[in-house]
Amino acid sequence: MSPAGDFSKALLRWYDAEKRDLPWRRNNDFYPVWISEIMLQQTRVEAVTPYFLRFMGLFPDVRALAAAEESTVLAAWSGLGYYSRARNLHRAAKAIAAGGEPSDFESIRALAGVGDYTAAAVASIALGDARAAVDGNVMRVISRLANDAADIRAGETRRRFAGQAARLVDRRRPGDFNQAMMELGATVCTPKAPDCGKCPVERFCGARAAGTAAQLPVKLGGKPAREVALDVAVLARDGRVFLVERAASERRLAGFRELPGKKDVKGARFRAAGEFTHQIVNDRFRVRVWVAGTPAGLPAGEWISPSELGDLPVTTTAKKALRIAGLL
């Protein structure tokens, strides 16, 4: 057996015995695989699991998703973040419902919101396409296997690592192989303090042999997070809370409900209820929560009962602030 074959055999043996029982791994049909891969973009497995289960309950097939109102889809996604994913998912569902399910990598790649990694993951798992799916976990594994200290952010490095991953793919079980590589990166070959003693492919790892695993991969030139102060007002009346709606011109959160800014509420007495931090991409928000009595003036918005919030797209910061204020 070739070195790549030996590697694949060891990795898949470990995966079969140790893989996590995740709900999207119970059915390799296109629809649940596609939904899970979109949800898992830049989002941890632990956060995705309850959303996936609820989403599949609400929209059990692509036609149900395509027929839903966008606001309903956004409400089901609310709290998961990166809301363009939900809008693109809805657009793609409409295209699939009209034109049929994708049958190869290229047709998956053509769907709204799908890039090379997601298309490769879905194609390998749902269609058996022997194609490497290279995400951050896989890049980290490859950098350590090769003991390669090149900047992982550099395009040339990423292309080289992708080529190395492609040469390792098990052609008989490409979907399982890709998931095993991701599982390895998520549970053993972790960013900090990799558990090399438990690694099923330790004997193939150049960084383990050289003692450099903890120093890899190398990332250069990352931008520091931008600190943003945000003061929000929590207003309650007759068991309802006051929310405003994001303008349609604000692409990322258009149509979402959120709390008004403290500065936009006139003539009210405020008391501080607490604060929290919330990061969106490269912005770190320091959100201070203020509870007010009856104001003299309010921006355009509406009073909504807590029982209605689950049916509306509501920003994560608003939900966190309402919990701090004891209203959710």
Same domain, 200 and 86: yes
Neighbouring C-beta atoms of residue 106, cutoff 10 Å: 10
Angle at 296 between CA 294 and CA 300, to 5 degrees: 95
| CATH at 241 | 3.90.79.10
Upper half-sphere CA count for residue 157 (Cβ side, 13 Å): 18
Let me know if residue 220 belongs to a domain. no
- pTM of this prediction? 0.83
Domain boundary residue, one of 215, 235, 266 = 215
Half-sphere exposure of 18 (CA within 13 A, CB side): 17
Domain end position, chosen among 150, 185, 215: 215
- Tell me if 107 sits within 8 A of 100, measured CB to CB: no
Residue at a domain's end among 175, 192, 215? 215
9/150 same-domain check = yes
Average pLDDT over residues 232-237: 92
Give the ranges where the chain is alpha helix by DSSP (H).
Answer: 3-18, 30-39, 45-58, 62-67, 70-77, 84-99, 105-109, 116-127, 136-145, 155-168, 174-187, 206-210, 316-324
The predicted pLDDT at position 47 comes to 93
Once rounded to an integer, what is the mean pLDDT over residues 234-260? 84
pLDDT of residue 1: 40
The most distant pair of C-alpha atoms in the chain lies apart, rounded to whole Å, by 78
Residues 58 and 188 both lie in one domain: yes
pLDDT band at 295 (very low <50, low <70, confident <90, very high): confident
Instruction: Supply the angle between the helices 30-39 and 84-99 in degrees, to the nearest 10.
Output: 160
Catalytic residue list contains 37: yes
What confidence tens digit (pLDDT) does each residue in 79-129 have?
888 889 999 999 999 999 999 999 999 999 999 999 999 999 999 999 999
Both 22 and 88 in a single domain? yes
Distances (CA, A) of 250 to 14, 84, 189, 245, 246: 46, 11, 39, 10, 7
Distance CA 277, CA 288 (A): 9
Structural domain contains residue 35: yes
Domains contained in the chain, number: 2
- CA 77 to each of CA 40, 52, 137: distance values in angstroms, whole numbers, following the listed order: 12, 9, 24
Residue 221, in any domain of the structure = no
Is 158 found in the same domain as 50?
yes
**pLDDT tens digits, 28-58:** 999 999 999 999 998 999 999 999 999 999 9
Contact by Cβ (8 Å): 124, 131: yes
Residue ranges making up the domain that contains 9: 3-215
CATH of the domain at 126: 1.10.340.30
Q: Looking at 18, 37, 106, 156, which residue is catalytic?
A: 37
Give the per-residue pLDDT at 2. Answer: 56
- 200 and 241 co-located in one domain: no
